[in-house]
Amino acid sequence: LVESWSFLDTAESDFRPLVVIELAKGTKGETIEWFTKRIVDKKANGGAQLLIKPLVTENGVENIYLVGASHLRLLLGAETVGLVKECSDNSMRTFTYSSRKTFKHFADDNHSFLTMAECQYIIKHELENLRAKDEKMIPGYPQAKLYPGKSIVRRLLTSGILVQIFPLHDREELKKLSHSWYGRVKVGYQPLDDIRCYFGETIALYFGFLEYFTFALIPMAVIGIPYYVFAWEDYDKYVMFATFNLLWSTVILEVWKRICAILTYRWGTLLMKRQFEEPRPGFHGVLGINPVTGREEPVYSSIKRQLRIYLVSLPFVCLCLYFSLYVMMIYFDLEQWALDYHKENESDFSSLMLYVPSIIYAVVIEIMNRIYRYAAEFLTSWENHRLESSYQNHLILKVLVFNFLNCFASLFYIAFVLFDMKLLRQSLATLLITSQILNQFAESLLPYWLQKRYNRRIKKRMCSKKTGVDLSLAEQVNMEKEMGTYLGTFDDYLELFLQFGYVSLFSCVYPLAAVFAVLNNITEIYSDALKMCRVYKRPFAEPTANIGVWQLAFETMSVISVVTNCILIGMSPEVDALFPDSKMDLVLTVALVEHLLLAIKFIMAFVIPDKPRDIQMKLAKLEFESLEALKQQVRAFQMQLHFLLIHH
Amino acid sequence: LVESWSFLDTAESDFRPLVVIELAKGTKGETIEWFTKRIVDKKANGGAQLLIKPLVTENGVENIYLVGASHLRLLLGAETVGLVKECSDNSMRTFTYSSRKTFKHFADDNHSFLTMAECQYIIKHELENLRAKDEKMIPGYPQAKLYPGKSIVRRLLTSGILVQIFPLHDREELKKLSHSWYGRVKVGYQPLDDIRCYFGETIALYFGFLEYFTFALIPMAVIGIPYYVFAWEDYDKYVMFATFNLLWSTVILEVWKRICAILTYRWGTLLMKRQFEEPRPGFHGVLGINPVTGREEPVYSSIKRQLRIYLVSLPFVCLCLYFSLYVMMIYFDLEQWALDYHKENESDFSSLMLYVPSIIYAVVIEIMNRIYRYAAEFLTSWENHRLESSYQNHLILKVLVFNFLNCFASLFYIAFVLFDMKLLRQSLATLLITSQILNQFAESLLPYWLQKRYNRRIKKRMCSKKTGVDLSLAEQVNMEKEMGTYLGTFDDYLELFLQFGYVSLFSCVYPLAAVFAVLNNITEIYSDALKMCRVYKRPFAEPTANIGVWQLAFETMSVISVVTNCILIGMSPEVDALFPDSKMDLVLTVALVEHLLLAIKFIMAFVIPDKPRDIQMKLAKLEFESLEALKQQVRAFQMQLHFLLIHH
């Protein structure tokens, strides 16, 4: 058996570096030797059977290694991770090596059948699944314990021996992508398929959502503009706008599910089977037997975790919420002070001063959000969740609740306690615009500028006048390893989520919010693209079939906005005037309308199918085929069995 | 291959009749010959490889056939339908013939490993999957067209040649079951596992739900009694009752999901894979190619169906709703008349007369519900849905909407238009009690009485003084074939659904409703059990993992009841008195409380896991094992492949 895998080694000639491994400076020789041996070792010996080469720079070997794999190895890896590709008959199927000839664009010498991002994903998967056999610890580091089945790479990462693993940029491809993506000012769609090929599905889906969301906001923005231009303040026009807004937001969220299904079907991730989830790297506990897998692995009592969540995290979150409300009250004091100042000495300066408290408050909100984010991450990782998904859910819940309150509490207070629509409009505009400017600056432009300055310094040090494309491999690796790491789409979605809140929660008061959102999102596409291509290290591709918990978050926001908008409309003096005799009738009417709108929303969400008909048909066809295949298998097996029963 | 299946025939000696097939009188000989040949024919020839015997009575052959199967055949069939059974290590696994030794209670000579209901389900599945090969029509009936892959039994049924197929009762088992179920007055649970063994999962799950629901209503009933006994009419007590009621109804629906998971895990249906759904028997259309399966089958344009739904069914349903409202207005006229009559000549008789309109209206509601049910069935089958599930969903939606309006419209009118709480209470009580009495009578007692009379007549004709158990097989078959057919759990769930509406929609006005519901459900268990055991033909077992769309229906009802109860409490004079200064504050408070309650409901539904932890673990374990097995398979296959690549 050992022999049967050896032919893979013969293909070593076409070494193409795909992934970079950076070890800590001063890593012991025996560790490096053991680790690289495990990486190149044959599958049958428990290795990953990949190719690895040290990076030789002018300063000699720097503990940086390049990992690649033979073409055949990658194809087998594609089968292991369950990649779904398009067949010659245009259907999507799970790739298997034995059926490789049926796939579109497959040829044994066509090395671009798998995209580079896919190759890198495969290598990452293989590296992470390199597991300890009988090692009790990492050679040379007795404190870094291992046990059978523990992922070696994860242990190396948590014990600091492995600094980072990251995929290499393909500077040729990147140049092409960035040109078609943001290189020229153009009207049209983003090259989503190219983005997906280069950055993977999670990031492509984020940009798809960003683009879709921007387009979906345009009708709202277009309808919102005349309200500003003609200073419409009639009740019936606002009601119309709000009603349109509420139904529209339901429709766009439902339609997104369909578009998402179309995209991910084309990309193959809609069909990809979920892999069994391994414990997350940071998870720790005493060694025990996992009741599900029967394997030896760290076990951490669920009661202890619950105690940490309810006795520490929950009180801490409540404290943060209280602090956020406290800061809000200070803002209102400031606001009052600015108003008094404006009344006393009326001037251009003092009327400008009216906006200052809101701007300061917006900045403080952003800062608090960011600080809280770190605290939430720390707390959630201290809660010691076993699975990455459970960690993510707890983190997202913590962050969403706080950000929602932090951003919108003052608006709720102004709207429903102070009843001051003018202040609400002003406050909403200031918060929205300030947070958008801050975000764009902090997220893309600042890192871009820092990165650029750093690159110049590096280049100067290397005394080379080359442009980015002509850099040698060593120079490229050295430059990329210093770039920031993209931490996932969380913050990008959060920003859109808060923006959606600004647009929809008080839409009947400030129809112009949608206009600002559209403008922001257009520049956001460019700045996020810039960030992905120029500022950060290339991230590993992550297959995904949907935007996950964010769908639920956006839907919840749209339900809350029905309530707020109905109350706002009910409170407006124009509506009040329609019911001169009885306030009671007014409130009952508003409540009735609200419940009707909510009912319509739920019915719409129920009636609009989540997947377009043709995707449904394709999925049904695949399911039918796999059931048929299973039936055939069972039948063949039964036949065989009976044959044996008779002849023996 | 043909030969390899023949050993099955040798086991024919132990023929045990399981299923009865009744053909129409005067069915042509060639048809019978062809049909029976297909049933006994070998699998390899496209037959079902079952055993069949004509029933010989005193009057000679009467076109009634008994179907059975050898023990081995049934075991292979169990694998085909994907039965899940308990293993020796107490885990639930999909049964396969090759792994049969690992299952609990399995022995090659233990013929009770499969329950009789399971055997009958397997035979039904095999008969329904007996498909036309190259026949163009049923021999002897040129108008009964066939095409390759069409289910023969379904065509025979739709063309009236096959009158019915039904499973035989096991009179010994039935006697045991009925004794432990309803034979003695006892405090305790129903023998759900025995019911499941005899009647299958769908029916056992209904009885499980009925029992659970009854127990769940007891706290409400207990809290409701003092309201009647002490004539409590305080506002705060009603609010407490309503709040408890609303939260309780959420809890019980969530907990039911968990109990349902426990039950269906134990019964193996939670793990059973969904089979690919074939078109329903009544579906017709021109022959075409199904785009999913690629098979030739009737195709019916989806646009035509949509037109039928929106242009005929929808207007018809609206018309029915209008008619129902019209009848309601007549009821109110009657009510007014009775009131006037009572005022004019006050007497015991006239005060009794006050209840008459409500009783008449309750009877009319029941009659309308039943007539509408037939119309809805006719319309839905005319809509020509391809799948049984789609047919069921459209039928359930039609029936639920009408029944909801028909039963509750008058109560809504009294509560929110007339604001007459006294009339509401009286009306609610009359409707609830009358409908319960009518249901029990129409559903169980009347059919039981008819059945009993018929049985006596039959026995007299047969001049036999034997008791039920000692009947000969021919007598048993003849008696059972005349029994009514149980049409599924739809009506039973509908009754519970409406009862849940009576109890929860206006719970704060009439706390005693829960008491009546509990009392009704206790007798309902007995009368339904009687119905299943004595009145109807034995139904085929149907595996199911949950109560399906009813879960959603009950949850929707509990959401609606939050709204109605909040409004009712808000309208009560006691609450009114709490806000003497401003009606506005009252309504806003009520709205706030309502939204809070709804939010709590949704959060509770989100937080309470649908499956208990140990079931989750067991499912995760099974998933892990199947993924591991798949991985092993892939690995083994890759090894094999490389071996081949090297050696050739």
Alpha helices in A309-387 (DSSP H): 314-344, 348-353, 356-382
Instruction: List the single residue in B with minimal CA-CA distance to A617.
Output: B292
Contacts of B563 in chain A (CB under 8 A): 595
Same domain, A555 and A456: yes
CA distance A473 to A492: 31
CB contact under 8 A, A583 and B583: yes
Whether pLDDT at B233 is above 80: no
Q: For chain A, what is the domain count?
A: 2
Does residue A108 fall inside a structural domain?
yes
Contacts of A77 in chain B (CB under 8 A): none
Looking at residues B513-539, what average pLDDT do you find?
A: 89
Same domain, B497 and B594: yes
CA distance B489 to B504: 22
Same domain, A135 and A258: no
Contacts of A563 in chain B (CB under 8 A): 595
CB contact under 8 A, A637 and B98: yes
Contact, B66 vs B52, CB < 8 A? Answer: yes
Å between B584 CA and nearest CA of chain A: 6
CB contact under 8 A, B645 and A7: yes
CA distance A511 to A507: 5
H-helix or E-strand spanning residue B86: strand B84-86
Contacts of A587 in chain B (CB under 8 A): 584, 587-588, 591
The pLDDT mean for chain B works out to 85
Å between B35 CA and nearest CA of chain A: 23
CA distance B547 to A453: 64
At B207, the pLDDT band (50, 70, 90 cuts) reads very high
Query: Shortest CB distance from B292 goes to which of A620, A634, A637?
Result: A620
Per-residue pLDDT, A493: 93
Per-residue pLDDT, A1: 30
At B124, the pLDDT band (50, 70, 90 cuts) reads very high
Q: Which two tokens stand for residue A218?
A: 């345009």
Does residue A98 fall inside a structural domain?
yes
Query: Shortest CB distance from B587 goes to which of A1, A587, A645?
Result: A587
Same domain, A229 and A83: no
Contacts of A45 in chain B (CB under 8 A): none
* ipTM entry: 0.79
Contact, B535 vs B174, CB < 8 A? Answer: no
Instruction: List the single residue in A with minimal CA-CA distance to B292.
Output: A621
Per-residue pLDDT, A91: 83
* DSSP assignments along B589-638, one per residue: HHHHHHHHHHHHHHHHHHHS-SS-HHHHHHHHHHHHHHHHHHHHHHHHHH
Per-residue pLDDT, A178: 86
Does residue B378 fall inside a structural domain?
no
Q: Which two tokens stand for residue A146?
A: 């291992």
Does residue A566 fall inside a structural domain?
yes
At B8, the pLDDT band (50, 70, 90 cuts) reads very low
Per-residue pLDDT, A379: 94
CA distance A363 to A438: 8
Per-residue pLDDT, A147: 83
Contacts of B646 in chain A (CB under 8 A): 3-4, 7
Whether pLDDT at B11 is above 60: no
CA separation, residue A105 to residues A95, B152, B351 (Å): 13, 44, 87
Same domain, B521 and B392: yes
Per-residue pLDDT, A644: 61
Q: What percent of chain B stands above pLDDT 90?
A: 29
Q: Write out residues in chain A with pLDDT < 70, as ranges.
A: 1-13, 58-61, 185-187, 233-236, 459, 461-471, 634-635, 637-648
Query: Shortest CB distance from B621 goes to which of A292, A563, A617?
Result: A292
Domain finish residue from B111, B145, B168 = B168
Does residue B459 fall inside a structural domain?
yes
For tokens 């053991």, the residue is A34
At B259, the pLDDT band (50, 70, 90 cuts) reads very high
Same domain, B253 and B205: yes
Does residue B623 fall inside a structural domain?
no
Query: For the whole model, what pTM was predicted?
Result: 0.85
Does residue B272 fall inside a structural domain?
yes
Contacts of B591 in chain A (CB under 8 A): 587, 591
Instruction: List the single residue in B with minimal CA-CA distance to A76.
Output: B638
Query: Shortest CB distance from A276 goes to which of B293, B624, B638?
Result: B624
Whether pLDDT at B12 is above 60: no
Same domain, B152 and B186: no
Å between A461 CA and nearest CA of chain B: 49
Contacts of B397 in chain A (CB under 8 A): none
Chain A interface, Cβ < 8 Å to B = 1, 3-5, 7, 76, 79-80, 96-98, 275-276, 291-293, 563, 583-584, 587-588, 591, 595, 617, 620-621, 623-624, 627-628, 631, 634, 637-639, 641-643, 645-646
Per-residue pLDDT, A209: 95
Contacts of A627 in chain B (CB under 8 A): 275-276
Per-residue pLDDT, B501: 93
Per-residue pLDDT, A518: 92
Q: Which of B610, B613, B629, B611 is nearest to B93 (CA)?
A: B629
What is the DSSP-derived secondary structure letter of residue B230?
T
Length of chain B: 648
CB contact under 8 A, B639 and A1: yes
Does residue B351 fall inside a structural domain?
no
Contact, A506 vs A565, CB < 8 A? Answer: yes
Same domain, A109 and A192: no
CB atoms < 10 A from the CB of A294, how many?
A: 10
Chain B interface, Cβ < 8 Å to A = 1, 3-5, 7, 76, 79-80, 96-98, 275-276, 291-293, 563, 583-584, 587-588, 591, 595, 617, 620-621, 623-624, 627-628, 634, 637-639, 641-643, 645-646
Same domain, A44 and A113: yes
Per-residue pLDDT, B6: 43
Looking at residues B263-279, what average pLDDT do you find?
A: 83
Contact, B290 vs B564, CB < 8 A? Answer: no
Per-residue pLDDT, B635: 67
User: Computed from CA positions of residues B286, B288, B291, B292, in that sequence, does the dihedral angle turn out positive or negative?
Assistant: positive
Decide: residue B326, CB within 10 A, 0-12 exposed, 13-18 middle, 19+ buried.
exposed
Same domain, B124 and B199: no
Same domain, A55 and A100: yes
A371-412 pLDDT tens trace: 999 999 999 999 999 888 889 889 999 999 999 999 999 999
Looking at residues B203-216, what average pLDDT do you find?
A: 94
Q: Which two tokens stand for residue A58?
A: 């002018």
Contacts of B642 in chain A (CB under 8 A): 4-5, 7
Å between A367 CA and nearest CA of chain B: 30
Q: Which of A560, A557, A421, A422 is nearest to A500 (CA)?
A: A557
Same domain, A120 and A224: no
A271-326 pLDDT tens trace: 887 777 778 877 888 888 888 887 778 888 888 999 999 999 999 999 999 999 99
Query: Shortest CB distance from B97 goes to which of A98, A293, A641?
Result: A641
CB contact under 8 A, B584 and A587: yes
CA distance B138 to B132: 9
CB contact under 8 A, B620 and A588: no
Q: Which domain holds residue B156?
A: 19-168
What is the DSSP-derived secondary structure letter of residue B52?
E
Whether pLDDT at B213 is above 90: yes
